[in-house]
């Protein structure tokens, strides 16, 4: 694990996970960082929490899940999308402590590797992978889904200009943004803006270079993309990019 100090942009080691995983979903609940599921040879159900410089097992998801994404809204973390090792997972899980989970609803379109963020009590799910492979143009989706935790319902409210997976999502100025990701397995640099009032998608800019599967966080009014993939298992990125959509 690593930590980022936004004022200095210094990146430092922050400890180790209690259990090594990849493709896990992460979210912060009441100041504690949680990691949900992931892969370790196969999909796992482990929930890990980092607090005060150490990590421990906090609980387990109701079933194994990897390739999911998570976001926090109203003091609860929501785990959306993913894969249980056999099939896509449509259920949306909610938790306030990382130990107890409720089924908050279902996605209209189950996906793996979606871009997910929260805005004004709604969860936004952009793109994603529709199956076990990404070897053709139909393997990804351009769907923009909006999930309402109050009703448990989701629906497709818009479409990205391209079929995209492995992207990062964040909120700035009351708008939803989707950055990077892969099209047909190739990392992209585009940043898209989603208007939450009508689901309309427009091009907002570009990253300094292509980037997929990056970690994303917002601090002090700036969104940070950490690490990721440039293309191919041997082309992993160790750089940090500060993203601002202000003009």
Per-residue pLDDT tens for 143-169?
A: 999 999 999 999 999 999 999 999 999
Quote the mean pLDDT of the chain: 92
Q: What is the pLDDT of residue 138?
A: 64
Model-level pTM?
Answer: 0.93
CB 77 within 8 A of CB 94: yes
91, β-bridge pairs: 106
147, β-bridge pairs: 123, 154
Q: How far is CA 228 from the centre of its chain?
A: 12
Contacts of 83 by beta carbon, 8 Å cutoff, 6+ apart? 43, 65, 66, 67, 68, 89, 112, 132
Residue 134 pLDDT level (bands cut at 50, 70, 90) = low
Residue 210 pLDDT level (bands cut at 50, 70, 90) = very high
Q: What is the pLDDT of residue 233?
A: 55
- Does pLDDT of 81 surpass 70? yes
The residue with greater pLDDT, 111 or 9, is: 111
For 8, 119, 194, 204, the CA distances from 156, given in Å and listed in that order, are 40, 16, 13, 21
Q: For residue range 29-41, what is the model confidence (pLDDT) as tens digits?
A: 999 999 999 999 8
- Does pLDDT of 199 surpass 90? yes
Q: What is the pLDDT of residue 52?
A: 76
Residue 62 pLDDT level (bands cut at 50, 70, 90) = very high
Rounded distance, CA 187 to CA 3, Å? 25
Q: What is the pLDDT of residue 51?
A: 81
The residue with greater pLDDT, 7 or 200, is: 200
CB 63 within 8 A of CB 77: no
What is the arithmetic mean of pLDDT over 13-33? 93
Q: What is the pLDDT of residue 3?
A: 82
Q: For residue range 168-181, what is the model confidence (pLDDT) as tens digits?
A: 999 999 999 999 99
């Amino acid at each position: 694990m690593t930590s980022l100090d936004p004022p200095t942009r210094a990146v430092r080691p922050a400890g180790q996970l209690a259990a090594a995983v990849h493709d896990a979903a992460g979210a912060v609940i009441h100041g504690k960082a949680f990691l949900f599921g992931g892969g370790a040879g196969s999909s796992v159900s482990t929930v890990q929490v980092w607090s005060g410089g150490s990590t421990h097992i906090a609980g387990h998801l109701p079933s194994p899940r990897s390739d999911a994404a998570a976001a926090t809204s109203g003091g609860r973390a929501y785990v959306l999308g993913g894969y249980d090792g056999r099939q896509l997972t449509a259920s949306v899980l909610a938790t306030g402590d990382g130990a107890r989970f409720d089924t908050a609803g279902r996605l209209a379109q189950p996906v793996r590797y979606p871009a997910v963020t929260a805005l004004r009590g709604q969860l936004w799910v952009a793109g994603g992978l529709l199956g076990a492979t990404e070897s053709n143009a139909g393997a990804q989706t351009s769907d923009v889904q909006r999930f309402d935790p109050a009703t448990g319902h989701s629906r497709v409210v818009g479409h990205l200009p391209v079929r995209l997976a492995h992207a990062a999502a964040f909120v700035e100025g009351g708008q939803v943004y989707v950055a990077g990701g892969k099209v047909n397995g190739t990392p992209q640099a585009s940043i898209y803006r989603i208007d939450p009032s009508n689901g309309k998608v427009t091009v907002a800019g570009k990253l300094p270079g292509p980037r997929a599967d990056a970690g994303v966080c917002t601090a002090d009014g700036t969104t940070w993309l950490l690490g990721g993939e440039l293309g191919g298992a041997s082309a992993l990125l160790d750089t940090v990019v500060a993203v601002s959509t202000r003009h």
